[in-house]
Structure 1
C-alpha cells in the first residue's frame, strides 16, 4: 500500500475562483512512522449567494494514486437562502454510474421549517417513505418533531422528539418517544449543559428503563472546549459499546487573522436550525482538525486521522468512475430492530461508523466494528456514514 508522506503529494487543480471559498477538504489517515495516506475528500460548489449547491465526495484509489467520484449531494434553495431540496446520488456498481438514491424536501411556514419529507428512488421514481412535522414554541424555536412512515394508504406514527429550552433559548433536553401502537413511550434522552458564556459544554444520552420507569445513562457523551473568540477547539467523544467505552477527540486549528464569514463554506446554516443542538463551530477561518483515539492501556491519545480544508483549489479527478467492486459495502438487515451488520466485499473491518438522524444530529458513533447495536435508537430512518480504509460510503437504514 503506497504511503503519502507530505501534503505535496495531494493532487489539486488550481481554480479561478480565488481564495474566498472553501473549495475542498481531504481526510488522511495516520499509517505510522509519520506517514499520512489519503482516504477521502469532498469538493464544494456554491451559488452567487454563497449557498452550497453541490458536494461531491471522492475516494482515493491507492492503485492509481488518483481521486474517483463516490457520491454527490445537490442542494436547491428558496429566495430566503434556505434549502428546499437535497438530492443524494450514489454509485451503482452494476451500471458503473451515479444514480438517484435519496431525496429530502423542506417546507417552510413564516420562514421556519415545518415539514421534512424523505423519498427513496425506486424504479426510476421518487417514492415517499417518511415525513417529519415540526411544531414551534412561543419563542419560535422547534419544540416537537413528529415522524411518520407511509404505509401505502396512511401515515403511521413512528417517533417524536420533544425539546426543552433554558432562559437563553438553548436546548437542555431532547426526549425521543416511540409509538407502541396505542401510546407514546419514552425511548432516549439527550441532556445538554452550557458554559457561563452560553456555549455548549457537553451532551449526555440516556435510555429509558421500562422495568424501573427511569432514565439510565448509556455512557455516550461529548464534551466541548471553545476559545475566547467562540471557535470550537476540542470535541471529546465517549462511545459505549458491548460494555466498553471508547474515547476519541478532534482538535481544530484556525487562521485567527481571518473570519469564516468572509468565505463561502459548507457549514452555513441551511435550514435555520442546523445548529440547534450544537453551536456553529467556526468563527475564524477553519484550517482543519486532527482526530485522536484514546488508549486506556497507555492513557495517551494517538492521532488517527486529519481533515484539511483548502480554499485555493478543488480536488482533481483521476478517473470519473464509481468505486471498484472490492470496496462495495452491504448493510443488513434493513429494516432492523436490534443489530445492523456492515459487510465489505473484502471482509475488512469498518474503521468508523457514524449514525445521524434525518435532522442531521449525530446519535451514535462506533470505531473498529462491523456490527452496530441500534436497539436504543428510536424508530425511524437514519443515515450511516461508513469509513473503511480509504473508502467512505453513505447508507440509510430503518430502525423498526
Structure 2
C-alpha cells in the first residue's frame, strides 16, 4: 500500500509539471503567427512584418517547411495572412486568414480559406460582437457548407461592468443553439473569488468549483479546486502562492487532498531580474520518501533593452541539470527580430532543429496624411456619359467585404465589378459596357456599413 501511494504522488506531480513544457512549445508556435498591428498613429518609421519562413534542419541543411505572408491596409493593420507549404521545390498555397475590423479597430470577423483545386474555398468563419465597453459578448464560429455559412459553435459572455460573470458555450443543433457547458464567476472587490464549471445534460450539472483567496495586495495566495460527486463538493487540489515585494510570484506549491490529508505534489520556484523579467524557473515533484526532487528548469536571458534573447530548457538527471533544448532570437540594428531558432542538445552540443526567418518593410509616415482619414465614398464615374468605357472610383476607411455592381433601371443586375474583401483605401476600376444597350444604368457600392448608388449614362 505504501509503494502504491508513492507512485500515485509522483504521477500527480508529473501531470502538473510537464504541462510547463507546453508553454515552451507554445512560445515557439506563437512566433509563426506573429504579425505587426499598428494601433495608434505615429510620425516615426514603422517596420511591418511582411514574411516569415519556417525551416527545418534535415541532412545538414535548412529545408523550407512553410511560409507566412502578411498584407496591410492603408492604416498599416494586418488584414490578410496567407500560408504556403514547401512541396517539390516550390511554394504551394495552403490557407488564407482574413480579418475585418469595426471603427474602433476591434476584429468583428475572421475568415479562413483553403486552397483547393487551384482556387480559394471558404472553410471557417468567426464572428465577434462587443458591448459598449468593448468586451466581447458573442463569439460565433461557422463552417462553409458547399454554398453557405452554417453555424457551428458560439460563446456568449455576460459582464457586470468589465468583470465577466458567465461564459456560456453552445452548439448549433439544426435550427437553434443548444447549451453545452458554462462557467460562472463571482467577485469581491473586483477580485475573482469563485469560478463554477457546469455541463448541460438534461439540465445544468456541477463539475468543478475553483475558489481564490487574496492578500492585501490583491495577489492570489490560495486556489482550491473542488469536484462535484454524489451531490457534494469534494476537495481535490490546492495551490498556494508566495510573492516578492514587487508582487511577483516566486513560489507556487501544489497539494492534493489524499486520504483526507493535504499532501505535497509539486513545487515551482521563480527568480526575476531587476526589470522583473523571469530569468529562472524550477519545478520539483514530491517523493514520499526522498522529499522534493528536481524535475525541470528554465533559464532565460534578455538583451540590454529587455528583448527576449535565449530560453534554455533543462531536465534533472540524477545529480545535475542537463540541457534539453533552447530558443534563441536574433535582432537587426533596428531592433526587429530577424531569426528565431529552436535548437536541441545532442551529443553535448547544440544542434539545429527549426528556425523562423522574418522579413520586414519600412513604412514612413507624413504627419499631414495622418490627419486625413478616409470616409466611405462612391464617386461619379468619368467620363459620363460614356461609350463604351468609363472609370469608377470609391474609397473605404476600413477593411471590409466590398461589392460594386451595375444595374439597369428595372433593377436587373448586369455586371459584377467587385465582390471581395479589400483593405481600407481608394480604388478605381474600368467598366466596359460594349455588350449593353444605350441608356441609364446604376452603379451600387455596398459594404457592411455603407450603401450608395450613382447614375451613369451609356450613349452609343
Q: With the length of structure 2 as denominator, give the TM-score of the two structures.
A: 0.44
Matches of 2:288 and 2:261 in 1, distance apart?
A: 14
Match of 2:103 in 1: 18
Matches of 2:337 and 2:399 in 1, distance apart?
A: 15
Contact 1:292–1:304 (CA under 8 A) maintained in structure 2: yes
Matches of 2:301 and 2:177 in 1, distance apart?
A: 38
More helix by share: 2
For residues 271-290 of structure 1, the aligned pairs below 5 Å read none
Match of 1:145 in 2: 223
Q: Is 1:133 equivalent to 2:193 in the alignment?
A: no
Match of 2:131 in 1: 47
Contact 2:237–2:257 (CA under 8 A) maintained in structure 1: yes
**How many angstroms does 1:72 deviate by?**
3.4
Computed over aligned residues only, the root mean square deviation of the Cα atoms, in angstroms, reads 5.1
2:157 aligned residue (67, 72, 75): 75
Q: For residues 125-149 of structure 1, what are the alpha-carbon distances to aligned partners after superposition, in whole Å with 9 as ceiling and x for unaligned? A: 2211111121112333211111111
Match of 1:276 in 2: none
Q: Is 1:181 equivalent to 2:259 in the alignment?
A: yes
Structure with greater Cα Rg = 2
Q: 1:165 to 1:117 in 2, by over 3 A?
A: same
Q: 1:99 to 1:219 in 2, by over 3 A?
A: farther
Q: For residues 145-199 of structure 1, what are the alpha-carbon distances to aligned partners after superposition, in whole Å with 9 as ceiling and x for unaligned? A: 1111122332111111101011111111111100112210000122222120223
Q: For residues 285-317 of structure 1, what are the alpha-carbon distances to aligned partners after superposition, in whole Å with 9 as ceiling and x for unaligned? A: xx99998643445722414899xxxxx65899x
**How many angstroms does 1:45 deviate by?**
3.7
Matches of 1:194 and 1:223 in 2, distance apart?
A: 10
Matches of 1:209 and 1:133 in 2, distance apart?
A: 27
Matches of 2:341 and 2:150 in 1, distance apart?
A: 27
Q: For residues 73-127 of structure 1, what are the alpha-carbon distances to aligned partners after superposition, in whole Å with 9 as ceiling and x for unaligned? A: 3321112x111111234588xx79874332111101122111111111213x221
Contact 1:209–1:216 (CA under 8 A) maintained in structure 2: yes
Match of 1:164 in 2: 242
Match of 2:352 in 1: 300
For residues 56-67 of structure 1, the aligned pairs below 5 Å read 56=140
Contact 1:148–1:159 (CA under 8 A) maintained in structure 2: yes
1:218 aligned residue (269, 287, 295): 295
**How many angstroms does 1:239 deviate by?**
8.4
For residues 85-104 of structure 1, the aligned pairs below 5 Å read 85-89=166-170, 99-104=178-183
Q: List gaps (5 residues or longer) in structure 2.
A: 1-65, 70-80, 83-94, 114-121, 359-397, 403-460
Contact 1:24–1:313 (CA under 8 A) maintained in structure 2: no
1:114 aligned residue (171, 193, 200): 193
- Specify the SS of the correspondent of 1:216: strand
Q: With the length of structure 1 as denominator, give the TM-score of the two structures.
A: 0.50
For residues 318-329 of structure 1, the aligned pairs below 5 Å read none
Contact 1:223–1:235 (CA under 8 A) maintained in structure 2: yes
Q: For residues 307-362 of structure 1, what are the alpha-carbon distances to aligned partners after superposition, in whole Å with 9 as ceiling and x for unaligned? A: xxxxx65899xxxxxxxxxxxxxxxxxxxxxxxxxxxxxxxxxxxxxxxxxxxxxx
Give the total of aligned pairs. 259
Matches of 1:120 and 1:87 in 2, distance apart?
A: 10
Match of 1:193 in 2: 271
Q: For residues 196-241 of structure 1, what are the alpha-carbon distances to aligned partners after superposition, in whole Å with 9 as ceiling and x for unaligned? A: 02233343322111121x222222647475884x7x7468474879
Contact 2:96–2:112 (CA under 8 A) maintained in structure 1: no
Q: List gaps (5 residues or longer) in structure 1.
A: 29-37, 257-286, 307-311, 317-400
Matches of 1:199 and 1:227 in 2, distance apart?
A: 12
Matches of 1:131 and 1:165 in 2, distance apart?
A: 24
